[in-house]
């Protein structure tokens, strides 16, 4: 069960205000309309309203106990009416006792107004009980909303995790085979390649902890990757990077370009016996930063490789991160496959994702 | 006498991979490398021309992969696969490969494979058994393309271009808009390895669902399929049940 509203500082202020208004109205009534003397009017109104505050607050517990969930409506109404009658009786009796023992001459007036006090008191207690139910309902509702939004952000996070870049094991084994070959024919180059491979691995293994990176850094790890593939495929792979200086400082989701470069190599170099050009360029536009990755391919080859997964993966990641669609577009002409990524500018400065 | 040497061909699209095999082979005086090829097309030409005793074959290569290449070769050569992909090992066994080397491989492992070939040629070695690669897994990969030979030309057919397949004795006739192609294989194989839109509608027919225009009732319990291109194919009772299941 939750703590009663009085323990919450906001609710406490509203309770004090309500009881204050009640006390002041009662005082004005007693003093000006019924023309009692100042002291007794003050004492009666303070005691009456204070007692009301205490008793109505303690009704929080039975209200929670008789919840709307586990009981029928009729049951709830009858029980609460009974509680309201008992509360009103206790409140009236205790205030009568305190006030009349202090001011004995006031007893007649108090008895004379007791029906009137009882009716209004009962009404106010019923309102207090209804208010308790409203508060409980509201608390449950906000709790549900919070847990739901927590749940949703958990799902989004899990989804992002599942879309994370994963190193292709075949790339790794083939690169290691090249190194193995180079150790015999060109040990110096073997050393250089194993260092490039280690640097690339170090960068990709750290990706799970980093969400956004500078384009400059992403290009750096792509360069390591391309250097390794260049050793494997030699002149079959031609690379052209066009990243102007003003693009280097923009933030992009980590490892968002790497799968696209791997796709370009997979569908370009793996499938063609001719030389393949891969171009990567960047341009800053009004609302977006445009990053283009294109590759030439052999239009006569019938692909034997799976496709589409990498691209739809990138699309989903960008959608989750930037909360908008259409950030990835693909164009395919005679022998050029081009992927255009739009990175929204307003989010570029946010490091917190 | 070079005539007594075993002839070897290396087929791999990466030069460094070929270099490594060339280096490992240096210690075998009895083996001579007579050719190196960068892709499957070159490989077919070279094998047909040289009829080698031993072929080192990569699987993933541009245009024509190692398995497709083997399908197009008449002779039964001694094949040692060299690849970074472990999922093709059982398929390698199906095509009677001598061994399956996973890149990167050690000199010892390489020697073992080459010695198997030498042993087989000297008739002292047992045939390869499945237990030879216990560490490897099988795969039920679906076909994406089929390679065939027609009039001495190699044709690569993308499976989504296929309209239907028809059994013809020991062959399967693969019918596409660009003509039909005979391939030596069993219907059962294509029934199991073609992707979803293909259904075995009859003992002698497999149809591409995307090519079907309508299914019509000929007489009681006897249906036929009419393709978009006009051909009519018979449907057996069990074929009709399968069709109904997919189409509803």
Let me know: does A66 contact A132? Beta carbons within 8 Å: no
Strand ranges in chain B using DSSP code E only, listed in sequence order? 6-11, 31-37, 54-57, 78-83, 99-102, 145-150, 153-158, 164-168, 171-176, 179-184, 198-202, 205-208, 212-219, 222-227, 232-235
Q: Which residue range forms the structural domain that includes residue A174?
A: 163-344
Which domain CATH number covers B227? 2.40.50.1020
Q: Is B157 on the interface with A (CB under 8 A)?
A: yes
Q: Which of B132, B163, B196 is the last residue of a domain?
A: B132
Q: Tell which of A174, A176, A186 to mutate to test the B interface (max B CBs under 10 Å).
A: A174
Residue with tokens 């360029």, as numbered in its chain: A281
* Partner residue opposite B20 with nearest CB, options A169, A181, A232: A181
Asked if B45 and B64 count as a contact pair (C-beta separation under 8 A), the reply is no
**Does B140 reside within a domain?**
no
Residue B85 sits at the chain A interface (C-beta within 8 Å): yes
Pairing of strands B31-37, B6-11: parallel
Domain contains A97: yes
pLDDT of the residue at A3: 66
Chain A residues within an 8 Å CB radius of B158: 302
Instruction: Determine the distance in angstroms separating the CA of B19 from the nearest CA of chain A, rounded to an integer.
Output: 7
Of A180, A232, A234, the CB nearest to B20: A180
Whether residue B139 is contained in a domain is answered as no
Domain boundary among A98, A132, A161: A161
What is the pLDDT at residue A190? 95
| Closest chain A residue by Cα to residue B156 | A302
Q: Can you give the pLDDT at residue B132?
A: 42
- Tell how far CA A244 is from the center of its chain: 36
Interchain proximity A298–B63, CB inside 8 Å: yes
Residues A171 and A156 occupy one common structural domain = no
Q: What local confidence, expressed as pLDDT, does residue B138 receive? A: 41
Choose, out of B10, B14, B16, B154, the residue to mutate when testing the contact with A (most A CBs < 10 Å).
B16
Is residue B12 located within the same domain as residue B124?
yes
Do A137 and A248 reside in the same domain of the chain? no
* A206 in a structural domain: yes
State whether B24 and B88 are in the same domain: yes
Looking at the complex, report in whole angstroms how far the Cα of residue B84 sits from the nearest Cα belonging to chain A: 6
Q: Is the pTM of this model over 0.90?
A: no
- In a shared domain, residues A190 and A329: yes
In this structure, the number of other CB atoms found within 10 A of the CB of residue B223 comes to 19
B72 and B159: one domain?
no
Percent of chain A beyond pLDDT 90? 31
Same domain, A336 and A205: yes
Please report, for the domain that includes residue B22, its CATH number. 3.40.50.2300
Domains in chain A, number: 2
Residues A246, A154 share a domain: no
DSSP designation for A165: -
Are residues A305 and A243 located together in one domain of the fold? yes
Secondary element (H or E) of residue B242: helix B237-247
Q: What is the pLDDT of residues A95-133, one digit of tens each?
A: 999 988 888 888 888 888 889 889 999 999 899 889 888
* Chain A, chain B: beta-carbon pairs less than 8 Å apart: 74
Q: Residue B180 is part of which domain span?
A: 150-247
Same domain, A284 and A250: yes
Residues 6+ apart with CB under 8 A from A115: none
Domain identity same for A217 and A289: yes
Å between B220 CA and nearest CA of chain A: 43
Is B30 among the domain residues?
yes
Cross-chain residue pair B145–A177, CB shorter than 8 Å? no
Asked if B85 lies within 8 A of A170 by C-beta distance, the reply is: yes
Residues near A142 by Cβ (< 8 Å), separated by ≥ 6? none
Whole-number Å distance between alpha carbons of A72 and A236: 79
Which chain A residue shows the shortest CA-CA distance from B157? Answer: A302
Choose the final residue of a domain: A131, A161, A191. Answer: A161
In terms of domains, do A157 and A170 share one? no
pLDDT tens, position by position, for chain A (353 residues)?
566 676 777 777 888 888 889 889 989 988 888 888 888 889 989 998 999 988 888 888 888 888 777 788 888 899 889 999 999 999 999 999 998 888 888 888 888 888 988 999 999 989 988 988 888 888 888 899 988 888 888 888 777 777 778 888 889 999 999 999 999 999 999 999 999 999 999 888 876 666 788 999 999 999 999 999 999 888 889 999 999 999 999 999 888 899 899 988 888 888 887 889 999 999 998 889 999 999 998 887 776 665 556 788 888 888 888 888 889 998 988 889 999 999 998 654 444 44
Cα A259 to Cα A330: distance, rounded to the nearest angstrom:
15
Helix (H) or strand (E) holding B179: strand B179-184
A351 found inside a domain: no
Give the pLDDT score at B124. 52
Residue B169 zone, left/alpha/beta (φ > 0; ψ -120 to 50; rest):
left
φ, ψ (nearest 5 deg) of residue A215: -55, -35
Tokens read off for B46: 């070279």
Residue B143, in any domain of the structure: no
Q: Are residues A201 and A330 in the same domain?
A: yes
Q: What is the pLDDT of residue A176?
A: 95
The residue to which tokens 């093709």 are assigned: B88
Give the one of A176, A233, A303 whose C-beta lies nearest to B14's C-beta: A233
CATH number of the domain bearing residue A276: 3.30.565.10
Q: Do A302 and B158 touch (CB under 8 A)?
A: yes
Q: Are residues A134 and A185 in the same domain?
A: no
**Token reading at A345:** 């500018």
Residue B65 to residue A232, Cβ atoms within 8 A: no
Contact A177 B39 (CB under 8 A): no
Domain membership of residue A349 (yes or no) is no
Interface list for B 54-83 with A (CB within 8 A): 60, 62-63, 65
pLDDT in single tens digits along all 248 residues of chain B: 445 789 999 999 999 999 999 999 999 999 999 999 999 999 999 999 999 999 999 998 888 889 989 888 877 789 999 999 888 888 888 788 899 999 999 999 999 999 999 988 876 545 544 344 433 434 457 888 888 888 888 888 989 899 999 999 889 999 999 999 999 888 988 998 899 899 999 999 999 999 999 888 888 878 899 999 999 999 998 899 888 888 77
User: Is residue A352 included in any domain, yes or no?
Assistant: no
State how far the alpha carbon of A199 is from the alpha carbons of A148, A165, A193, A203, A227, in Å.
41, 16, 10, 6, 11
Out of A103, A133, A161, a domain closes at: A161
Residues of A with CB under 8 A from a CB of B: 169-170, 173-174, 176-182, 184-185, 231-234, 269-273, 298, 301-305
What interface predicted TM-score (ipTM) does this complex get?
A: 0.71
Q: Name the residue among B16, B60, B144 with its Cβ closest to that of A178.
A: B16
Same structural domain for residues B8 and B127? yes
Contact yes or no for B38/A275 (Cβ under 8 A): no
Peptide bond into B6 cis (omega under 30): no
Write down the pLDDT at residue B228. 92
The predicted structure's pLDDT at residue B136:
42
Residues in chain A: 353
Distance from CA of B178 to the nearest CA of A (A): 15
Looking at the domain assignment, is residue A353 inside a domain? no
Q: Find the DSSP H helices in chain A.
A: 9-28, 38-58, 60-65, 73-102, 107-112, 114-162, 169-185, 187-205, 215-233, 245-248, 258-267, 309-322
């Amino acid at each position: 069960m939750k703590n009663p509203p009085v323990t919450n500082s906001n609710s406490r202020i509203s309770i004090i205000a309500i009881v204050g208004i009640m006390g002041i109205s009662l005082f004005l009534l007693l003093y000006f309309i019924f023309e009692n003397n100042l002291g007794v009017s003050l004492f009666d109104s303070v005691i009456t309203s204070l007692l009301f505050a205490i008793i109505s607050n303690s009704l929080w517990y039975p209200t929670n106990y008789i919840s709307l969930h586990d009981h029928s409506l009729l049951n709830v109404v009858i029980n609460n009416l009974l509680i309201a009658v008992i509360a009103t009786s206790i409140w009236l009796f205790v205030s009568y006792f305190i006030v009349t023992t202090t001011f004995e001459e006031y007893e007649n007036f108090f008895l004379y107004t007791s029906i009137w006090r009882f009716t209004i008191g009962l009404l106010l207690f019923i309102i207090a009980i209804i208010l308790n139910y409203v508060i409980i309902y509201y608390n449950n509702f906000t709790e549900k909303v919070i847990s739901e939004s927590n749940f949703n952000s958990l799902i989004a996070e899990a989804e992002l995790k599942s879309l994370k870049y994963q190193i292709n094991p075949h790339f790794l084994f083939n690169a290691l085979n090249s190194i193995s070959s180079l150790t015999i024919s060109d040990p110096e180059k073997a050393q250089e390649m194993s260092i490039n491979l280690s640097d690339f691995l170090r960068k990709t293994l750290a990706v799970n902890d980093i969400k956004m990176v500078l384009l400059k850094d992403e290009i750096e790890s792509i360069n390591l990757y391309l250097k390794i593939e260049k050793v494997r495929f030699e002149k079959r792979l031609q690379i052209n990077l066009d990243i102007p200086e003003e693009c280097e400082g923009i933030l992009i989701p980590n490892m968002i370009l790497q799968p696209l470069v791997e796709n370009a190599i997979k569908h370009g170099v793996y499938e063609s016996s001719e030389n393949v050009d891969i171009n990567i360029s960047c341009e800053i536009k009004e609302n977006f930063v445009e990053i283009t990755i294109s590759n030439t391919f052999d239009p006569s080859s019938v692909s034997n490789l799976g496709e589409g997964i990498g691209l739809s993966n990138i699309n989903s990641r960008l959608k989750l991160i930037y909360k908008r669609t259409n950030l990835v577009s693909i164009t395919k002409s005679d022998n050029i496959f081009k992927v255009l990524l739009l990175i929204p500018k307003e989010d570029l400065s946010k490091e917190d994702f | 006498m070079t005539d007594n040497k075993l002839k070897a061909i290396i087929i791999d699209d990466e030069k460094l991979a070929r270099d490594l095999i060339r280096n490992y082979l240096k210690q075998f005086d009895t083996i001579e490398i007579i050719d190196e090829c960068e892709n499957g097309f070159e490989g077919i030409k070279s094998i047909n021309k040289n009829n080698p005793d031993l072929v080192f074959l990569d699987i993933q290569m541009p245009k024509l992969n190692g398995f497709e290449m083997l399908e197009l070769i008449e002779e039964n050569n001694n094949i040692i696969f060299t690849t970074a992909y472990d999922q093709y090992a059982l398929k390698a066994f199906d095509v009677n490969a001598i061994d399956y080397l996973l890149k990167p491989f050690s000199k010892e492992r390489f020697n073992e494979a080459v010695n198997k070939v030498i042993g087989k040629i000297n008739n002292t070695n047992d045939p390869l058994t499945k237990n030879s690669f216990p560490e490897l897994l099988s795969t039920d990969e679906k076909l994406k393309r089929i390679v065939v030979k027609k009039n001495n030309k190699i044709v690569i057919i993308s499976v989504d271009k296929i309209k239907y397949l028809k059994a013809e004795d020991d062959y399967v006739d693969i019918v596409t808009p660009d003509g039909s192609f005979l391939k030596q294989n069993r219907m059962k194989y294509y029934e199991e390895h073609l992707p979803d839109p293909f259904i075995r509608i009859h003992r002698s027919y497999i149809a591409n669902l995307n090519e079907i225009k309508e299914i019509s009732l000929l007489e009681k319990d006897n249906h036929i399929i009419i393709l978009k291109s006009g051909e009519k194919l018979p449907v057996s009772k069990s074929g009709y049940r399968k069709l109904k299941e997919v189409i509803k």
